[in-house]
């Protein structure tokens, strides 16, 4: 096994560790992820069965290992902003997470103001300056800060993340912030 935790070779071992941490037997995990038997689970954990993002995400969700779902997104490159996952130890305290979120918001606000000035100075025909990557990174830091807060609230206060996502989606659909339905997007393209 490689020393790098962000390595596909380590994924089957992490699946076993998280299943055991969640106190699920191989039989129980097989039932949870979709009518699989103990032998299938053993083969997954021993690296015999090829892993798919869907399998890994189902598995880690069943274990409440949210950071490991982020790891799957990172390892399989499921999204361009998928980054290394947050250490689960940082997601245990909701009070620490909210303090961190406030700090990150303040730094991101300052970085956003700088980025706005940088963009305002961008003119056609003028030599383009390099992107202010330090400021953009500071804004990007809001993503893991948000996850840290949400994960800690789920662990310490029972926040239902799926319900939260559904509430956000309903509001986003009503306020027309969410991506239009396929039919509506196709109508716009005509």
Q: 29 or 186, which is more confident?
A: 29
C-alpha distances out from residue 117 to 83, 111, 113, 123, 135, Å: 27, 10, 6, 12, 12
The DSSP output letter for 126 is S
Predicted local confidence at residue 151, as pLDDT? 94
The CA-based diameter of the chain, rounded to the nearest angstrom, is: 65
C-alpha distances out from residue 121 to 53, 112, 115, 135, Å: 43, 14, 10, 16
Predicted local confidence at residue 51, as pLDDT? 95
* 187: confidence class by pLDDT, cuts 50, 70, 90: low
Mean pLDDT estimate for the chain: 90
pLDDT digits (tens, 9 = 90+) for 79-117: 999 999 988 888 889 999 999 999 999 999 999 999 999
3-state secondary structure of 34: coil
User: For residue 186, is pLDDT > 60?
Assistant: no
* 138: confidence class by pLDDT, cuts 50, 70, 90: very high
Within 6-132, residue ranges assigned H as helices are 11-21, 26-32, 38-45, 53-63, 66-75, 94-120
User: For residue 154, is pLDDT > 90?
Assistant: yes
Calculate mean pLDDT across residues 116-120: 92
Within 65-93, residue ranges assigned H as helices are 66-75
pLDDT digits (tens, 9 = 90+) for 167-180: 999 999 999 888 87
Q: 59 or 1, which is more confident?
A: 59
pLDDT digits (tens, 9 = 90+) for 9-58: 899 999 999 999 999 999 999 999 998 999 999 999 999 989 999 999 99
Calculate mean pLDDT across residues 128-144: 93
- Other CB atoms within a 10 A radius of the CB of residue 158 amount to 7
* 149: confidence class by pLDDT, cuts 50, 70, 90: very high
Calculate mean pLDDT across residues 54-75: 95
- Other CB atoms within a 10 A radius of the CB of residue 64 amount to 15
Residues 6+ apart with CB under 8 A from 69: 56, 57, 60, 61
CA gap 129, 127 in Å, rounded:
6
Cα 4 versus chain centre, distance: 19
Predicted local confidence at residue 1, as pLDDT? 42
């Amino acid at each position: 096994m490689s020393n790098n935790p962000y390595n596909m070779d380590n994924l089957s071992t992490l699946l076993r560790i998280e299943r055991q941490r969640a106190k699920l037997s191989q039989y129980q995990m097989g039932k949870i992820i979709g009518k699989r038997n103990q032998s299938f689970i053993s083969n997954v954990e021993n690296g015999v069965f090829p892993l798919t993002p869907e399998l890994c995400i189902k598995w880690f969700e069943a274990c409440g290992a949210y950071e490991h779902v982020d790891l799957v997104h990172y390892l399989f490159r499921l999204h361009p902003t998928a980054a290394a996952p947050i250490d689960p130890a940082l997601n245990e305290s909701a009070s620490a997470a909210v303090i961190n979120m406030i700090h990150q918001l303040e730094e991101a606000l300052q970085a956003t103001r700088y980025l706005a000035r940088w963009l305002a100075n961008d003119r056609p025909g003028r030599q383009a300056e390099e992107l202010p990557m330090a400021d953009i990174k500071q804004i990007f830091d809001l993503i893991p800060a948000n996850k840290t807060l949400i994960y800690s609230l789920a662990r310490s206060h029972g926040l239902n993340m799926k319900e939260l996502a559904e509430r956000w989606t309903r509001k986003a659909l009503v306020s027309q912030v969410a991506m239009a339905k396929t039919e509506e997007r196709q109508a716009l393209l005509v």
